[in-house]
Chain A
Amino acid sequence: MSQIPKDCKYTEEHEWVKMEGDIATMGITDYAQGELGDVVFLELPEEGDILKLGEAFGSIEAVKTVADLYSPVSGEVVGVNSELEDTPENVNQDPFGEGWLIKIKISDSAELDGLMDASAYEQHIA
């Protein structure tokens, strides 16, 4: 059974978003990391990059596949988890904690309404 924390919002692309003020921290869900298998590399944006809702901003590479990362909200990248360069396995071991990917200063809080809550996401992956 995958972890699905109640304090996060979710996208159909299996990403989670957690808000603190106007800063959104995002990562991939426990379900997603389980489907991908061992993560070996992440291609992440740089601080200052402007992301648009739904656009691919990077990629996540596992042993046998690679998947695009889609921006769950629009805004400016204000933080990147650079520790993943050396420890990409954090995405597998702690997807909602140490395995976070980037922090985004959101530009349109209305976009959050389009995301799923925990119970909706639970149904989505059921």
Chain B
Amino acid sequence: MSYVPHTATQIEEMLQEIGVKNYEDLIKAIPLELRLENGIDIPNGLSELEVINHLSKVGSENRKAIDSVSFLGGGSYDHFIPSAVNALLSRSEWYTAYTPYQPEVSQGTLQAIYEYQSVVCDITGMDVANASVYDGATALTEAMLLALRHGKRKTKILVSAGIHPHYMQVIDTYASTSGVDVKVIESKNGITDIHELDANIDDSVAAFIFSQPNFFGLLEDADSLVKISHGAGALAAVSVYPVSLGMLSSPGEYMADIVTAEGQCLGNPVGFGGPYLGIFAAKQKLIRQIPGRISGETVDRDGKRGYVLTLQTREQHIRRGKATSNICTNEGLNALAAVIYMALIGKRGFQELAELCYHKAHYLYEQICNLDGYSAEYPGEFFNEFTIHTPVPAKEVVDKAAEKGFFPGIRLDRFYPNMDHSLLIAVTEKRSRQEMDDLVEVLAQI
């Protein structure tokens, strides 16, 4: 559709019709300081070739993770994605961002969602998972909302200071308009202060929310955190790093009630702005309060296996304003990538993946801690991500390493201004010993 702006004559006619002298007269209610003085400065048109050349030139200024050696994490991880994931994903039959509106004609899509949900339940130790939500941040926020629906008269949510700062922002955004009282439980040595939690929790608390591992890469004492939460009648909701579940106790084992995660690490590429994958799972007792769509397996009248979207009475097309959430979309392709990825690497592969990440990270950690001026920021145990105290401001480390083709980690002063000597470093199975040794060499020279 072409865009045809109004001609001067048409504008004149319209102004005359409504009895306004000129355009300035029409917008006189808008204060002068808010108006552009000389209109918008738009350059002359370019040919298609010129546009492509221009965009390529601008694009080439990006430093891509794929051309560098990346130790970036913080919720988004550079894992290997087998080519088969994209080959299968690219089949046009899958191309929809939505769970189908007339679901039962899309048996393949429903089955894929069902398989995805089954994988999520397997690795988290939960009873039920939904078809996914937008990303890790919204998934964790939905956990908060679920807890408030379940807790009915409870008005308070406690959140560990160790969750991802972006997730905290999303929680705050929702909380600011829903009247819930969100209190942050401070950390000690980088992990949730158990005594703080104990001192602040009471029967007005709907849920305690934490992250395992936490944002600083550290392992929380999940058993104790969940036990204290349950002791006060609150639910325990945890945001996990899915890859870590190949090695760590599952949330089901430490009795968490709700599990959410950023699922990008399962077969989805690192990308600024996504699309990412919000994993959401819970215990059976919460099934009627779960947000989003759920695919279920059943049999048709001939006894043959088939799939349906089930428990739809929670959803907005039936429940209207009282729906358990207004998310009817899911990250369909991302969830599909995750289930294809999990099917490809298999159970043993998933465990090996976690072990590789763990051991490589611990190797690099040792090497960096042995360098003059570098030390561990916190004493705690970690999985594949750790925080290093740097001898010079972390910004300097990041800038200098970038010149040599490394993304050495995330500067924590971007989130916590007083942590300007802290670098959050993540190691995935993709990093070779050579790459790690090279990074150590680069750091040693700074």
Q: Do A and B bind each other?
A: yes
- Within A39-85, the residues touching B (CB, 8 Å) are 41, 43, 61-62, 64-66, 68
Residues of A within 8 A of B322 (CB): 68
- Report which of A41, A62, A66 forms a contact with B319, defined as CB distance below 8 A: A66
Is the pair A41, B318 in contact by a Cβ cutoff of 8 Å? no
Chain B residue total in the interface (Cβ 8 A): 6
Residues of A within 8 A of B319 (CB): 66
Cβ of B204 under 8 Å from chain A: no
Whole-angstrom CA separation of A41 from B312 in the bound complex: 13
How would you classify the secondary structure of chain B's contact residues: helix, strand, loop or mixed?
Answer: helix
Is the pair B313, A65 in contact by a Cβ cutoff of 8 Å? yes
Whole-angstrom CA separation of A41 from B319 in the bound complex: 15
Cβ of B288 under 8 Å from chain A: yes
Closest to A41 in B: B288
How would you classify the secondary structure of chain A's contact residues: helix, strand, loop or mixed?
Answer: strand
Chain A residue total in the interface (Cβ 8 A): 8
Is the pair B288, A43 in contact by a Cβ cutoff of 8 Å? yes
Shortest CB-to-CB span from A61 to chain B, Å, is 5
Closest to B315 in A: A66
Is the pair B288, A65 in contact by a Cβ cutoff of 8 Å? no
- Within B298-319, the residues touching A (CB, 8 Å) are 313-314, 318-319
Whole-angstrom CA separation of A43 from B288 in the bound complex: 9
Shortest CB-to-CB span from A47 to chain B, Å, is 14
Residue picked from A65, A66, A68, most chain B C-beta under 10 Å: A66
Shortest CB-to-CB span from B62 to chain A, Å, is 49
Residues of B within 8 A of A61 (CB): 288, 313
Residues of A within 8 A of B313 (CB): 61-62, 64-66
Whole-angstrom CA separation of A64 from B319 in the bound complex: 11
Shortest CB-to-CB span from A32 to chain B, Å, is 16
Whole-angstrom CA separation of A41 from B400 in the bound complex: 61
Whole-angstrom CA separation of A68 from B313 in the bound complex: 12
Shortest CB-to-CB span from A62 to chain B, Å, is 8
Shortest CB-to-CB span from B202 to chain A, Å, is 18
Q: A74-118 toward B: CB 8 Å interface, digit per residue (1/0)?
A: 000000000000000000000000000000000000000000000
Shortest CB-to-CB span from B294 to chain A, Å, is 14
Residues of B within 8 A of A43 (CB): 288
Closest to B153 in A: A49
Shortest CB-to-CB span from B46 to chain A, Å, is 56
Whole-angstrom CA separation of A61 from B310 in the bound complex: 13
Whole-angstrom CA separation of A28 from B385 in the bound complex: 56
Residues of B within 8 A of A65 (CB): 313, 318
Shortest CB-to-CB span from A48 to chain B, Å, is 11
Whole-angstrom CA separation of A66 from B288 in the bound complex: 11
Whole-angstrom CA separation of A4 from B314 in the bound complex: 31
Shortest CB-to-CB span from B79 to chain A, Å, is 40
Whole-angstrom CA separation of A66 from B313 in the bound complex: 6
Whole-angstrom CA separation of A65 from B313 in the bound complex: 6
Whole-angstrom CA separation of A73 from B339 in the bound complex: 51
Whole-angstrom CA separation of A66 from B318 in the bound complex: 7
Whole-angstrom CA separation of A61 from B318 in the bound complex: 11
Residue picked from B313, B318, B319, most chain A C-beta under 10 Å: B313
Shortest CB-to-CB span from B100 to chain A, Å, is 18
Q: B393-410 toward A: CB 8 Å interface, digit per residue (1/0)?
A: 000000000000000000
Whole-angstrom CA separation of A28 from B111 in the bound complex: 37
A-B contact list, 6 entries, CB within 8 Å: A41-B288, A62-B313, A65-B318, A66-B313, A66-B319, A68-B322
Other A-B contacts than A64-B313, A64-B318, A66-B314, 11 sampled, CB-CB below 8 A, are: A41-B288, A43-B288, A61-B288, A61-B313, A62-B313, A65-B313, A65-B318, A66-B313, A66-B318, A66-B319, A68-B322
Q: Which 6 pairs between the two chains have the least Cβ-Cβ distance?
A: A66-B313, A61-B313, A65-B318, A66-B319, A66-B318, A65-B313
